[in-house]
Amino acid sequence: MELKHKKLGIADETVFHMYETMLITRRLDERMWLLNRSGKIPFVVSGQGQEAAQIGAAFALNREEDFVLPYYRDFGVVLAFGMTVKDLMLAAFAKAEDPNSGGRQMPGHFGQKKNRIVTGSSPVTTQVPHAVGIALAEKMDKKQTVSLVTFGEGSSNQGDFHEGANFAGVHKLPVIFLCENNQYAISVPVSKQLASVRVSDRAAGYGMPGYTIDGNDPLEVYKYVKEAADRARRGEGPSLIETMTYRLTPHTSDDDDRSYRSAEEVKKAKLSDPLDTFRSYVKEAGLLPDEKEEQLEKSILTMINEAMEYAENAPFAKPESALQFVYAGTEQGAEK
Amino acid sequence: MPVISYIDAVKMALREEMERDRNVFILGEDVGKKGGVFKATEGLYEQFGEERVLDTPLAESAIAGVAIGAAMVGKRPVAEMQFADFIMPAVNQIISEAARIRYRSNNDWSCPLVVRAPYGGGIHGALYHSQSVEAVFANQPGLKIVMPSTPYDVKGLLKAAIRDEDPVLFFEHKKAYRSIKGDVPEADYVLPIGKADVKRKGTDITVITYGLCVHFALGAAEKLAAEGIETEVVDLRTVYPLDKQAIIESASKTGKVLLITEDNKEGSIISEVAAIIAEHCLFDLDAPIQRLAGPDVPAMPYALPMEKYFMMNPEKVEKAMRELAEF
């Protein structure tokens, strides 16, 4: 039987690179929890269980030109778009060199202009209209770029989702709306979030195609996002893709999920952990011999250790630098 | 120098900036074919096409949010809120996003956006077509709020707002649109955001205000001058951040200060002006700081007698100025 990635026209090397990025994402995420539980960093917001959706989507884009507007679980998206493990460690430790915010924002609030990772905030879904505005601007300039915006299924209830999706639909803008449906908005399950069966049902209201797909299969996500990107570049407008995933960790390091879901449910979800299933796939495809895998794990461990050590020892921004950058030309600090 | 109306100065500034910079574009409800409900964008759709004068769906948060996205990648959007009262659905985008983008990204990203909105009462607009909303935004560092009083200031300040590297809320008094006319040069000029303007020099009392109330104060100052009372009228022009120096200078000079706003009194722009004067000028004052403002009710009622009761007018202003002069 022909391998799925071959059918999709994805090179072996790219598939390996996708797996590598997924693995880095997971190992980094796991390390963040250790750092939090040992009292070294105050906060973690995690993407475990959603890496396949994130990596599949990011790799389907032009990572040299397209824009991404990630939400707070998207370690995988930003790593695929050029942010480094060191950058993310600097953010976790809130150090001056953190490219996301120089230690101003909580971890998970991504942004890095040089990699077209658009700065985000905590009120959910505000990034959706921004993605639409970027697409509008790029279309005005006759560019071929696409903007990908991600959000959770709970967020798809926000007005900004509906207002942004409708705007993009009316003006046929090159936007990909990617929902990472991880089944929970903190503690509230999908059944109490959505009146429709699927988030993708909402696409019809905004004149765009909507798909619900397996978010545990990065190649499936790649396929749909690639098609949506091609469609967008042809001037045919936006798409909504709902990737079905499961949030394997509590909402954040400050949440205890035992109060609203059973250990059995989480255990069951772990059976289809996308990292395990994709690992099996690349192994069966012959792209990850044991020796190479061992090497990969080792090099990732080293990379994370080095990044952690660097970030832990890196300086904080000067306290009074909190006065900087309120307006343009306030590099010297705002008036006290 | 041609004499034009306040609203024509808005249109002139928009047209000139769109001719100057192809990144400038307009978006909002009814701004395209119709030219805006007040006709502020009339003719621009015909001149620049629908791509640059964009009729949006009726959804204010998207208008602000889409404009923010475009601004972050190099456009110079001018978003119109049809009435300042209807800016409320966009508050999250303006405050949580636009105001914080430079700061939260440590200067990596910026948001050079203008949001224009007609505000103010006296036009039978009732609760939801008459409000002054500036105080909602006036404790949000990262934002600038401009509220011009004359056609000359409108043109120079709107051009400055469009060229500004940060988000600017530009509130236009809708009663001034056609009732206020003035000299406006055809040439290109900008006026500094963040600087107040002394509209009349005087030595006996100071009036500090903005928007339509500037005209009430100037009218009253003429009458008082005939009686030998010289009023200094300071037009704030930018209500956030405030021009502290201009406020302190004028308050210290006359020692008698009347602050006027059409907005409700509590927590208004002039409350902050009063605090600045109290902090810096206490020993120069010859009278308590006076505040003249709308009553602390939610908004302006529709029926004419109640609207008149709420609305600032020349008589109320003159009376308050006279009382202060006589203190």
High-pLDDT (> 70) share of chain A, %:
98
Q: Do B65 and A331 touch (CB under 8 A)?
A: no
A334–B141 CB contact, under 8 Å: yes
Measure CB to CB from residue B103 to each of A67, A99, A326 and give the nearest one. A326
The pLDDT confidence band at residue A334, using thresholds 50, 70 and 90, is low
Nearest CA in chain A to B57: A167
**Chain A residue numbers touching B146 (CB-CB < 8 A):** none
Nearest to A96 by CA among A308, A324, A315, A310: A315
pLDDT band at B89 (very low <50, low <70, confident <90, very high): very high
Helix A159-170, helix B60-72: angle, nearest 10: 70
Q: How many CA atoms lie within 13 A of B166 on its CB side?
A: 24
Distance CA A51, CA A33 (A): 16
How far is it, in rounded angstroms, from Cα A170 to Cα B58? Answer: 12
Whether A136 sits inside 8 A of B96 (CB atoms) is no
Count other C-beta atoms under 10 Å from residue B326's C-beta.
Answer: 10
Q: What is the mean pLDDT of residues A300-319?
A: 98
Query: pLDDT band at B77, cuts 50/70/90?
Result: very high
Show Cβ contacts of residue A62 under 8 Å, excluding neighbours closer than 6 positions: A145, A146, A229
Which of A65, A325, A330 to mutate: most B Cβ within 10 Å? A325
The position carrying tokens 């970030």 is: A311
Angle made by CA atoms A190, A196, A198, in degrees to the nearest 5: 65
Contacts of B18 (CB under 8 A, 6+ apart): B24, B25, B26, B44, B47, B48, B52
Chain A residue numbers with beta carbons less than 8 Å from the beta carbon of B109 are 111, 113, 118-119
Q: Which two tokens stand for residue B325?
A: 């002069």
The strand ranges marked E within B174-304 are 181-183, 197-200, 205-209, 231-235, 238-240, 257-264, 290-294
Whose structure tokens read 């020993």?
A: B283
For the question of residue A251 being annotated catalytic, the response is yes
CA B179 to chain centre: 16
Condensed to tens digits (0 to 9), the pLDDT of residues B129-169 reads 999 999 999 999 999 999 999 999 999 999 999 999 999 99
Sketch out chain A's domains with CATH numbers: 13-313 (3.40.50.970)
pLDDT at A235 over 60: yes
Write down the pLDDT at residue A333. Answer: 54
A169 contacts B62 by C-beta, under 8 angstroms: no
Tell me, what's the pLDDT at A336? 44
The closest of A28, A233, A216 to A148, measured between CA atoms, is: A233
pLDDT digits 0-9 by tens, A127-186 = 999 999 999 999 999 999 999 999 999 999 999 999 999 999 999 999 999 999 999 999
Distance in angstroms (rounded) separating the CA atoms of residues B33 and A316: 53
Which residue of chain A is at minimal alpha-carbon distance from B142? A326
Collapsing DSSP to helix, strand or coil, B218 comes out as: helix
Is A140 or B1 the better-scoring residue by pLDDT? Answer: A140
Best mutation target among A206, A326, A331, A332 (most B Cβ atoms within 10 Å) is A326
Indicate whether this complex's ipTM tops 0.95: yes
pLDDT at A1: 73
DSSP β-bridge partners for residue B200: B233
B289: pLDDT confidence band, cut at 50, 70 and 90? very high
Q: What is the mean pLDDT of residues B286-314?
A: 97
B-contacting residues in A 164-193 (Cβ below 8 Å):
164, 166-167, 170-171
Q: Report the C-alpha gap between A77 and A64 in whole angstroms.
A: 13
Closest CB to B102 among A67, A170, A325:
A325
Tell me the pLDDT of chain A averaged across its residues: 96
Residues of B with CB under 8 A from a CB of A: 25, 51-52, 54, 56-57, 59, 61-62, 64-75, 77, 89, 92-93, 96-97, 100-110, 141-142, 144, 164-166
Q: Which of B51, B66, B91 to mutate to test the interface with A (most CBs of A within 10 A)?
A: B66
Q: Are B284 and B249 in contact (CB under 8 A)?
A: no
B18, B61, B111: which to substitute to probe chain A, counting the most A Cβ within 10 Å? B61
Percent of chain A scoring above 90 in pLDDT: 97
Chain A environment of B96 (Cβ under 8 Å): 121-123, 126
Tell me if A126 and B66 make a contact (CB, 8 A cut-off): no
Whether B170 shows a pLDDT value over 60: the answer reads yes
List the beta strands (DSSP E) in chain A.
67-69, 147-152, 175-181, 184-185, 188-189, 210-214, 239-244
B88, amino acid identity: M
| Rg over CA atoms, chain B | 19
For residue A315, the SS3 value is coil
Distance from CA of A330 to the nearest CA of B (A): 10
Q: How far apart are CA A200 and CA A174, in angstroms?
A: 18
Q: What does the pLDDT look like over B93-119, one tens digit per residue?
A: 999 999 999 999 999 999 999 999 999
B93·A160 Cβ contact <8 A: yes
Q: Which of A71, A72, A251, A281 is catalytic?
A: A251
Look-up: residue for tokens 């090179």? Answer: A11
Measured over the CA atoms of residue A148, residue A151, residue A152 and residue A155, the dihedral's sign is negative
Interstrand relation of B144-146 and B181-183 (parallel, antiparallel or unpaired)? unpaired
pLDDT over 90 (residue B314):
yes
- Return the bridge partners of B80, or none: B28, B116
Give the pLDDT of residue B1. Answer: 83
Flag whether pLDDT at B211 surpasses 80.
Answer: yes
Q: Identify the pLDDT of residue A12.
A: 97
In A126-145, the residues whose Cβ lies within 8 Å of chain B are 126, 128-138, 140
CA B187 – CA B164 distance, rounded (Å): 19
Position A310 pLDDT exceeds 70: yes
Q: Are A289 and A298 in contact, with CB atoms under 8 Å apart?
A: no
First to last CA, chain A: 69
Three-state secondary structure call for residue B302: coil
> Three-class SS string for A163-200?
HHHHHHHHCCCCEEEEEEECCEECCEEHHHCCCCCCHH
Candidate from B97, B106, B142 with C-beta closest to A102: B106
Residue A335 predicted with pLDDT over 70: no
Burial B96-120 (b: 16+ CB within 10 A, else e): bbbbbbbbbbbbbbbbbbbbbbbbb
Query: What is the C-alpha radius of gyration for chain A, rounded to an integer number of angstroms?
Result: 20
Token reading at B95: 């405050």
CB of A158 within 8 Å of a chain B CB? The answer is no
- Contact of A43 with A255, CB cutoff 8 Å: no
Please indicate if any CB of chain B lies within 8 Å of the CB of A36.
no
Instruction: Find all residues with CB under 8 Å of A245, minimum gap 6, and list them.
Output: A49, A50, A52, A53, A180, A181, A182, A183, A215, A216, A274
B97 and A126 within 8 Å at the Cβ level: the answer is yes
Contact B92 A128 (CB under 8 A): no
Please give the Cα distance from A294 to A286 (Å, whole number). Answer: 15
Q: Where are the beta strands (DSSP E) in B177-230?
A: 181-183, 197-200, 205-209
**Of B96, B141, B144, which is closest to A121 when you measure between CB atoms?**
B96
